[in-house]
Amino acid sequence: MLEFNNSTPLTMGVELELQIVNRRDYNLTRGSSDLLVIIDKTDHGYDIKPEITESMIEIATSVHTDHKEMLAELTAMRTLLVSAADKLNLGLAGGGAHPFQHWEDQRIYPTDRYRLVSELYGYLAKQFTVYGQHIHIGCATGDEAIRLAHMLARYIPHFITLSASSPFYQGVDTTFQSSRLTSINAFPLSGYMPFVTDWDAFNAYFDKMSSLGIVASMKDFYWDIRPKPEYGTVEIRVCDTPLSIEVAVALAGYAQTLSKFFFAQQELKPAQDTYLTYSYNRFQACRFGFNGAIINPINGTQTSIKEDILQTFDMLADIAQELGTTEAIELLRQRIQAGQSDADWLRACYEKSGSLSDVVRQQSAVWMAR
């Protein structure tokens, strides 16, 4: 039986996967081991660790209730990382996928877990050199976590669109705003969580999958949203890593605000019909971003993702005021009204320079605050 370690509702944390690039042509480089050696010479206390290939590094915040405190922590972590990267003449960057790296050049980081993933999934493990933001929201019980995961499923296109930063992949413009999720779609346990309605039902599902030899732990599920029982959270996993830490924090603030709304509106119940249009809406967000369509299967209405996000922001205005997230949501609103996502910004950089190396140079400068 999986035990759900109950946590304080609406606490939050984020994980950010970052690109490690050289400063010659700004291709990915196998720098995580050397970077960690330099970082660990400082008694920092931060959660900084390797990821599945050696051109990735992951940072994770501590538990927060206030998005401004989260931003302060991420700013301090960035200072530490940038200092270490400078000593090695490396660059760090956000973005959901490196624009021109080739998956066959990547090397699996030497841990037992990552070796197992590589043995199981073959070349998909190296293709998994994509970069995401994960957002954790604390829940009081496992039952509440299951409910929240289903309620947030309706808003997954929002998080994809607001974070989209992977228009280029393997040297070409994919025509997608977020190409990153295409790599994750190839894994057999990706997509959305089955429609179970409480923690006991989820445990029964997990036990069945475990007894069939399909999964050994929650890490084997690559769902867009999943409960994280050891943390006592619900984890949103669809976001590309934004180009800046400010947007990453704003996204966490939005998730926290949506969750407060659902915790307060207990009369709202998950609807299995949400998943009738889930994959369609998800694709629209990945492909078209703000210009994509979103269909509500409950009432049959269809609107643009942009308008749906703005209407949701309006709905949450009072809750954001109570929670202190108005500033975070306003940052996201301004980006929508300006009509430019991170993906659009990256394309504009390429149009000016004609060089994907220069695009990465500029996105690295954004994340490193230069």
Write out pLDDT tens, residues 8-66: 999 999 999 999 999 999 999 999 999 999 999 999 999 999 887 889 999 999 999 99
pLDDT digits (tens, 9 = 90+) for 228-255: 999 999 999 999 999 999 999 999 999 9
CB count within 10 Å of CB 91 equals 25
pLDDT on residue 290: 97
Query: What are the CA-CA distances from residue 139 to residues 247, 259, 262, 344 (Å)?
Result: 24, 9, 12, 35
Q: Is the pLDDT of residue 118 over 90?
A: no
Residues 106 and 53: beta-carbon distance below 8 Å: yes
* pLDDT per position as a tens digit, 57-101: 999 999 999 999 999 999 999 999 999 999 999 999 999 999 998
What span, in angstroms and rounded, lies between the C-alpha atoms of 305 and 282?
10
Q: Helices 278-288 and 156-163 meet at what angle, rounded to 10?
A: 10
pTM: 0.96
Three-state secondary structure call for residue 45? coil
- Entry field: residues in the chain: 370
Closest CA to 291 of 310, 307, 274: 307
Distance CA 145, CA 136 (A): 11
